[in-house]
Amino acid sequence: MNRLKTLFRSGSIVILAATVVGGLAGYLANAIVGANITAVEYSSFGVFWSALYFIIAVISGVQQEVTRATRPKQDHSSGGALARRFAVIGAVATGAIVFVSGFWWAPIVFPSSDVWAVVAPIALGCSAYFVVAVLSGTLYGLTLWPAIGAMIVVDGVLRLAAIGTVLIGGWGETALYWAVVLPFPLTPSILWWVFRSRVVGRSMLDVGAAELTWNSLRTTTAAVAIGVLVSGFPVVLALVRPSAPAEELGTVIFGINLVRAPLVTIVLSLQSYLVIRFRSEPGRSGRTAAMLIGIIIGAALVFAGVAVLVAEWLLPILWADYALSGGFIAALAGSGGMLGLLCVSGPLALAKSRHGAYSLGWVAAAAVAVIALMSPLPLVTAIVVALSAGPAIGVAIHLIGARYSH
């Protein structure tokens, strides 16, 4: 019982449970969409989801730095002004950059879609997520675990409900896009009034505006690579393999989203928690990281084995339009484990203020993955190599950087 209370106070149970619920909601959202549209149609939805979450993954770098820099204040004087200004300016700038640049990149990424229908929801979602990132980083820094858990759960459940409503109503592709992004502004708007009194005036940053911006740029650089390897991978795939048939592309994108989601979503969402955990227990951070690495490897092996057994009979029943082999699905599950290791080694390096090693590890992993995709290997083989070899290189760089930190 005492051990359980300790785990609850440390936030591990709260964050893990919330992440499982939020990840399951996202997993079900993709599965439901896939069951209601064809593989060719999913190629458009999958790339939209990928493009949106690629930019969000980039912005998540801001959350990592705000998490690292936030400390509780000992008094209750006014505080947090820098974080608020940073959130507002960043949200406006992000929305403007995405919206204006979208009229250049959207026709390339979505050649058969209306530019406005794609760019407008992505710009709104990314602008709102910048506020979510700063607020979440502040909550992590203050170790307000129930508030963080609520943010994760409400966001995922709202998205699942919105997507389900659109599909039931038969409102079409554009409405589906808006259903995906609206939880980003709605979640903080709803929950802010619940935990506002525990945040306002109770936090401070250990850096000034210039250093916060510089450190955020470095963690954001790493987050670009995170986006390439995780949510943005289907976009990269569509760009570097433009000759791939739409049906094949939609099928492999669906497989990537469906199979990697359970493990990757959980571990990726735990990064901010891991930064706090490693930072608060520097003497035990190495042992904790080793334990987590062992758990992830074991989970990936089990999941890969289950995937082989399930794929052969479940896919034809629920998703008959998607021709995926058991071997490919098992390989995707295994590669998800490799990415999970990267999501542990990265926070370990960042918690030790090794921003350079943190960024380099992610960038190197993404570069190796892109090179593999551009190789003459068959599409399925190139995907497996990209999602396995890239993270392996990144993990090595992170661990070396953390080992030689001062």
Question: How far is residue 61's CA from residue 221's CA, in Å, rounded to a whole number?
Answer: 8
- Using alpha carbons only, give the angle 39, 125, 383 rounded to the nearest 5 degrees: 40
Task: Give pairs for 76-83: CB < 8 Å, separation 24+.
Answer: 76/201, 76/202, 77/201, 78/201, 79/201, 79/202, 79/203, 79/204, 80/138, 80/199, 80/200, 80/201, 80/202, 80/203, 80/204, 82/205, 82/208, 82/209, 82/212, 83/134, 83/138, 83/203, 83/205
Closest by CA to 203, choosing from 131, 137, 255, 250, is: 137
Query: One-letter amino acid identity for 141?
Result: G
- Residues 5-55 have pLDDT tens digits of 554 455 667 887 888 888 788 888 888 998 888 877 887 888 898 889 889
pLDDT-derived band at 394, boundaries 50, 70, 90? very high
Q: What percent of the chain has pLDDT over 70?
A: 92
* Per-residue pLDDT tens over the stretch 165-200: 999 998 888 999 999 999 999 999 999 999 988 888
pTM listed for this prediction: 0.80
Helix (H) or strand (E) holding 205: strand 203-205
Angle at the Cα of 315 from the Cα atoms of 310 and 320, rounded to 5 degrees: 165
CA atoms within 13 A on the CB side of 20: 5
Q: Which residues of 283-302 are buried (b: 16+ CB within 10 A; e: fewer)?
A: eebeeebeebbeebeebbee
Domain residue spans of the chain: 2-403
